[in-house]
Amino acid sequence: MSALHLIVDGAIAEIRLDNPSKLNALTPDMLAALESHCAGLERNGAVRAVILTAEGERAFCAGADINAWSGLPPAEFARHWVRDGHRIFDRLARLSKPTVAAISGHAFGGGLELASACDIRVMAPGATLSLPEASVGIVPGWSGTQRLARLLPEPVIKEMALFGRRISAERAMALGYVAEIADDPRAAARTIAEKALNASPRATEVAKYMIHAGVGEDTAALVEALGSGMIAASADKAEGVSAFRAKRKPEFPGT
């Protein structure tokens, strides 16, 4: 059984990392479960917002489980471990529903990259952020030098990735990386998620698409999705489909 669970409570879903004895380090099974849950949530119209949480107070997530990748041949490490993780984190980042990460403990490496795939973040006062990969001879591989570069200034990322410095909750908030510092990040994240229930689900979905297109998050697909959504509601589309089915020449009204 995976140590990553999905709990649906009404219109809010919670993705929960549940391996606190290992600091919620990510394993292949947990990554596979995350990808599966994201696919299911995308098609669940009853869910309006998603919270990402973790059990335990020591670590939100200490990154990727070193036992899962340290023995992999270089080609397999690059081709599967890194690219699969990237794809799965992209799946979370590109959910059509608003997402909030509740960082209840330290978020290191892949854990920081995981939190960065959510729309906004809430952080416990004593939690810290870091990119410690260089200390074990590797580099960030799940968007720590890419997506995170859109969320934090370049010198700050260099502090973490090159010099091993940790970023406090207070500094992360001052930099705009977290929306709130709370003693109970899970409760605070739920309060924020509940705000989405008062808004139009279609409006929040399209707004998220537009913002992502503006910052380069899956821009090509989002442009086509937004354009396709517009044309799908047109009279021209209805006439084109009707004419195809009737095997006649379409007469497009241009509306």
Using CA atoms, how far apart are residues 63 and 161, in angstroms rounded to an integer? Answer: 14
Strand partners, 51: 14, 100
| Cα–Cα distance list, 18 to 1, 14, 22, 30, 95 (Å) | 11, 12, 9, 9, 22
* Phi, psi angle pair for 122, to nearest 5°: -120, 140
Burial 153-182 (b: 16+ CB within 10 A, else e): eeebbebbbeeeeebebeebbeeebbbbbb
Rounded-to-integer distance, Cα 81 and Cα 91, Å: 15
The residues annotated as belonging to the active site are: 113, 133
Report whether 182 contacts 147 (CB < 8 A).
no
91-111 core/surface letters (b: 16 or more CB in 10 A; e: else): bbbbbebbbbbbbbbbbbbbb
Give the integer Cα–Cα distance in Å for 55 and 17: 6
215 by DSSP, 3-state: which?
helix
